[in-house]
Chain A
Amino acid sequence: MKLTGAEILCESLTRLGVREIFGYPGGAILPVYDALGKSKLHHVLVRHEQGATHMADGYARASGGIGVAMATSGPGATNMVTGIATAMLDSSPVVCITGQVSSKVLGSDAFQEIDITGITMPITKHNVVVTHAEDIARTVREAFLIANSGRPGPVLVDITKDAQQASAEFNWESSAPKLPPKRQRPNHDQAEFDRAVELLNTAKRPLILAGHGIMVSGAMRAFEQFVRTGNYPVAMTLLGIGCFPANDPLNLGMMGMHGEAWVNNAIQEADLLIAVGMRFDDRVTGDLRTYAKGARKIHIEIDRAEINKNVKVDAALVGDAREVLEKLMPHIQTRDHSTWIGHIAELKGDSAVRDIQTLPDSGHLYAAHVINDLWKETRGEAIVVTDVGQHQMWEAQYYHHNRPRTLITSGGLGTMGFALPAAIGAKFAKPDSEVWAVVGDGGFQMTMSELATIVQEKINIKIAIINNGYLGMVRQWQEFFYDKRYVATPLVAPDFAALANAFGIRGERITARAEVIPTIRAARESAETVLIDFRVEQEDSVYPMVAAGASLHDMIRRPNNPLVETASEP
């Protein structure tokens, strides 16, 4: 069957199970758009290509499948850079398709020509330029294979306009992926495995550090069995949240810079850390010289380049988290760690008395109230997509996720402007799920043009703006480390409710604690998107906090008045 390159692309995407493409048209990708119009694929018109990549990313993270973003050459492609880097840092399988000028003028600085494969080389798992129609099907299939295998990541396919226009024979069977052969390394030797088992069965104060990799490998069941059998307490990374139920007594909560105080202290007191699908990021370790000095370390990780990168480990089990955990299971002895777990509970007790939720209503509206109420009202079952900053940390502390892929957030890159478009993508992936974008007033203003996308697509998400009139996390650093010199952090914003109305979206503004629950209820009952502007305490800070470069146990705690610290029981 003879098809144009553009038709081959659409046919290939359809056969690969794609339903939605998030994109923005332009000259060098027009042949593909013409073919899209004749295909069954649904194209979501975004308002900025960064939004397209975040939507594809949100789609991928909510579904476990691959998100597809599309843009034209030049500025269309460069606008994708932030979204691609976001997906790269969080190992999210996104396939970006960009148009490119015709192969005959490549390298001539033609109109809207840019070397996007050169630009995105360090922020993609792989990228490729296609100049022949007959290579499109195989290349796209390879892109899908690369994006979601091993440690997932973004792949960019740059297709020249002449390749889109040319005709070629289309044959699905003969266009199977044909990637270069790879040396198959043994994941670990028996001695390393035996050493890990020995450590697991002799530890007195073991602690699991649970990361994103558990979700990526679909290891939730194996992980739960592993935890129960070994009776190990579990600490979560930000991206690991959801891989193990928050309401499980063995789940301690989040670790790291804004982790719970008892979790960080437990890490520092542990005699064995079992890291699963996490990479000892500086935001979870603090100062490496003082990190978990008394603990031996086991690292279960699919990416060999992560082994001994930041933290030297005693046993490295390289491989897919599920496979490694299943292999370990028969060797794990059930042991009583009640003394150790009891000790962690004591550490927790100290923080529980400081919880903002137990304090009398002072008339102030705190972000923690809003998020905790949202958690209660949604019974913890919504997909929450956050932006980056204070509200992101409060979400991680106060919204207790019991199911995987229900917290979607930019962890590694920390991309402001992520929440709104990623929430749109998540809604397309899970149309029957309740999706909330929780976003600060700063990040919202970066990508709020995507409100128009919501209206055009008639989708139903809920938007909670945690509006404190500041770039809150930066302001917090200025308060702590720059003597309260608030340079460039006070932030003027439009009336968000009125803005929503201008887009044809219902908008609410909340200033008192008593209004929070009724407004959330009303929003949930609506079949359309609702935006709620929560005007919260302006100079509240996230506690506890490990200053950048400080030791993990060296936390800045909430001053006495007002007493706010996390410890709400899930």
Chain B
Amino acid sequence: MQTLVAYVENKPGVLNRVSSLARRLAINIDSLTVGPTENEEIARMTIVAHTDERGAHRLEASLEKLVDVLLAENISGRALLERDLALIKVSADQQNRPHLMELIKVFRARVVDVAPESLIIEVSGAVDKIDGLLEVLRPFGVLEMARTGRISMTRGGDLLRPPVPESTASELESTNSGVK
């Protein structure tokens, strides 16, 4: 499993270009999250892909060839902070509810919705933690679940910032008058 971060133009069709590229390279995407950055014109993606280092290099380099991709980087193997968020609707009656609440406390999860027959639990953290909670909730009956997919960030001073616009590209302009 390889983790890539990409900064892309925040506009229609870009997600399609990115996912279509992975499809063309026959790389299965495990999760892909996308959201705006502090600059609303730029979105940040975290792509978790089923591939090896060589596949990740190809994906990274091919992504950077897309006009709408500002930067793509394979951050696998670097010191990372990874977060996933899940909403889990689990069946809960009067009898097992106290037991459930204990588990929720242990996993530092939260109850965000209470109904007579069920609870919705919100949990965030590393993927392992959510998988772990899910495992212990299963016997109670998981009715529904939604997960955001992973977002990742390199730790500390290892910065991954979007490139800033250059003044103008017009001096590079291609015309047919200056044919090679």
Q: Which residues of A contact B (CB under 8 A)?
A: 15-19, 63-66, 93, 117-118, 121-122, 125-126, 141, 144-149, 151, 176-185, 218, 303-305, 307-309
Besides A182-B64, A304-B64, 15 other A-B contacts (C-beta < 8 A): A17-B176, A17-B177, A17-B178, A65-B176, A122-B24, A145-B169, A146-B67, A176-B168, A177-B169, A177-B170, A183-B71, A183-B163, A218-B180, A304-B61, A309-B58
**Residue B82 CB within 8 A of the other chain:** no
Are B173 and A141 in contact (CB-based, < 8 A)? yes
Are A307 and B173 in contact (CB-based, < 8 A)? no
Q: Which residues of B contact A121 (CB under 8 A)?
A: 16-17, 20
Are B173 and A144 in contact (CB-based, < 8 A)? yes
Show 21 A/B contacts (Cβ-Cβ < 8 Å), sorted by A. Answer: A15-B175, A17-B176, A17-B177, A64-B179, A66-B176, A117-B13, A121-B17, A126-B66, A144-B173, A177-B173, A178-B168, A179-B67, A180-B9, A181-B164, A181-B166, A183-B70, A218-B180, A303-B61, A304-B64, A305-B61, A308-B57
Within 8 A of A (CB), among B52-78: 54, 57-58, 61-62, 64-71
Q: Find the residue from A149, A177, A218, A305 having the highest chain B CB count within 10 A.
A: A305
A-B contacts counted at CB < 8 A amount to 95
Are A179 and B20 in contact (CB-based, < 8 A)? no
Known: A121-B16, A121-B20, A183-B163. A145 touches B174 (CB 8 A): yes
Query: B69 → chain A, closest Cβ, in Å?
Result: 8
Q: Which residues of B contact A149 (CB under 8 A)?
A: 172, 174
Q: Which residues of A contact B176 (CB under 8 A)?
A: 16-19, 63, 65-66
In the assembled complex, the Cα of A178 lies from the Cα of B9 at a distance in Å of: 13
Are A65 and B179 in contact (CB-based, < 8 A)? yes
Within 8 A of A (CB), among B132-180: 162-166, 168-170, 172-180
Known: A64-B179, A122-B24, A308-B57. A180 touches B169 (CB 8 A): no
Q: Which residues of B contact A19 (CB under 8 A)?
A: 176
Q: How many residues of B contact A (CB 8 A)?
A: 37
Are A305 and B65 in contact (CB-based, < 8 A)? yes
In the assembled complex, the Cα of A391 lies from the Cα of B164 at a distance in Å of: 51
Are B180 and A180 in contact (CB-based, < 8 A)? no
Q: Name the one of B67, B166, B168, B170 contacting A126, with C-beta atoms under 8 angstroms.
A: B67
Q: Which residues of B contact A147 (CB under 8 A)?
A: 174
Q: Which residue of A lies closest to B17 (CB)?
A: A121
Q: Find the residue from A66, A149, A180, A185 having the highest chain B CB count within 10 A.
A: A180
Q: Which residues of B contact A65 (CB under 8 A)?
A: 175-176, 179-180
Q: Which residues of B contact A (CB under 8 A)?
A: 9, 13, 16-17, 20-21, 24, 54, 57-58, 61-62, 64-71, 162-166, 168-170, 172-180
Q: Which residues of A contact B178 (CB under 8 A)?
A: 17
Q: Which residues of B contact A305 (CB under 8 A)?
A: 58, 61-62, 65
Query: A434 → chain B, closest Cβ, in Å?
Result: 19
Q: Which residue of B lies closest to A68 (CB)?
A: B176
Q: Find the residue from B57, B67, B177 having the highest chain A CB count within 10 A.
A: B67
Known: A182-B163, A183-B163. A148 touches B174 (CB 8 A): yes
Q: Which residues of B contact A63 (CB under 8 A)?
A: 176, 179
Are A303 and B177 in contact (CB-based, < 8 A)? no
Are A181 and B165 in contact (CB-based, < 8 A)? yes
Q: Which residues of A contact B24 (CB under 8 A)?
A: 122
Query: A214 → chain B, closest Cβ, in Å?
Result: 11
Q: Which residues of B contact A93 (CB under 8 A)?
A: 174
Query: B106 → chain A, closest Cβ, in Å?
Result: 43
Known: A181-B164, A303-B65, A305-B58. A176 touches B174 (CB 8 A): no
Q: Which residues of B contact A117 (CB under 8 A)?
A: 13
In the assembled complex, the Cα of A218 lies from the Cα of B178 at a distance in Å of: 12
In the assembled complex, the Cα of A303 lies from the Cα of B62 at a distance in Å of: 9
In the assembled complex, the Cα of A455 lies from the Cα of B177 at a distance in Å of: 28
